[in-house]
Structure 1
Amino acid sequence: MDNNRTEKATINIGIMELAQIDLLVENMIYTNRSDFIRTAIRNQLEMHKSDIERLYLQTKANSFEPESQVQGGIGIYRLRKAALSDAMKSNKKLHIMVMGILLIDKDISPELFEATVKSIKIYGKIQAQKSILELINRKGIKSD
């Protein structure tokens, strides 16, 4: 598993649940406790897939003005220089909303980013060059 795409979470679990997981691990149904927990989480998320998509769209509709230009999506979204250049040419500010990972291309300057991005709403993680991350933190562009 790619460590750059995982986060550590600490959970409290009851003794009975943990004992049952350990029995499954001991009998090689799962390789370890983490394998069981990741599988259980994936199954729950798959079961709620339509709810997640509906809630994402609902949040998107309620978080921005109706005439706003919102870019992003569910999964991995790559913000490209061309999109920001187009926004600059049309004198528009973008709102970015991503559930997953927002990848900001390295060729985007902090000046272009600041001139074209009004807000970022992210459920997940941003990967960008240090100067862009500092700008996001300094200007408060990101809203959770």
Structure 2
Amino acid sequence: MRQALSKPSDTEKITINLGYVDLGHIDLLVSEGVYANRSDFIRTAIRNQAERHADLTRQSMARKSVELGLRHYRRSELESLFAAGETIDIRVLGLAVIEADVPADLARATIGSVEVLGSLQASPAVREALADRLR
């Protein structure tokens, strides 16, 4: 029997605690058809707040040299860095993916620090190898 390979999701599930009144407001808006469901309301609220603070976000990203969106770190890229004797500092706002075929020793040799505002996807071995470099 062949096992299906799981594809990384472009979303991450989070859990939040809300007061009953706030939850009631959301449910009312959903029942009135303003939003499709609770998740739709919460995603919209988050996007609105992010847009409200867009200038601050842009300034901070420029100051910290942060990449925005999805960034893949491939084995070939890290092998090139290793051959050149160079390292990188990973700074991503969004999703950073260290590909599954990247060996832990190569990641440790080529990645100086990791700061991800969002989500980092990496094998358990790579996460362990970089544990002291995660911010």
Question: TM-score, normalization: structure 1?
Answer: 0.75
2:69 maps to 75
Instruction: Report the 3-state secondary structure (helix = DSSP H, G, I; strand = E; otherwise coil) of the residue aligned with 1:29.
Output: coil
Deviation per residue, 1:101-139 (Å, 9 max, x gap): 1111122211211111111111121112221122122xx
CA RMSD of aligned residues (A): 2.4
Seen in structure 2, the aligned counterparts of structure 1 residues 29 and 106 have a Cα distance that, compared at 3 Å, is same
Structure 2 residue corresponding to 1:124, chosen from 114, 118, 123: 118
For 1:6 and 1:107, locate their aligned partners in 2 and report how far apart those are by CA, in whole Å. 22
Given that 2:105 and 2:129 are in contact with CA atoms closer than 8 Å, whether structure 1 keeps it comes out as no
Instruction: Report the 3-state secondary structure (helix = DSSP H, G, I; strand = E; otherwise coil) of the residue aligned with 2:34.
Output: coil
- Name the % identity: 30
Letter in 2 for 1:9: T
Seen in structure 2, the aligned counterparts of structure 1 residues 22 and 111 have a Cα distance that, compared at 3 Å, is closer
Q: How many residues align?
A: 128
Q: 2:133 matched to 1:141? A: yes
Deviation per residue, 1:62-111 (Å, 9 max, x gap): xxxxxxxxxx6111110112221222122112111111111111222112
Structure 1 gap ranges (5+): 61-71
Question: TM-score, normalization: structure 2?
Answer: 0.79
2:80 maps to 86
Structure 2 gap ranges (5+): 1-7
Q: 2:102 matched to 1:108? A: yes
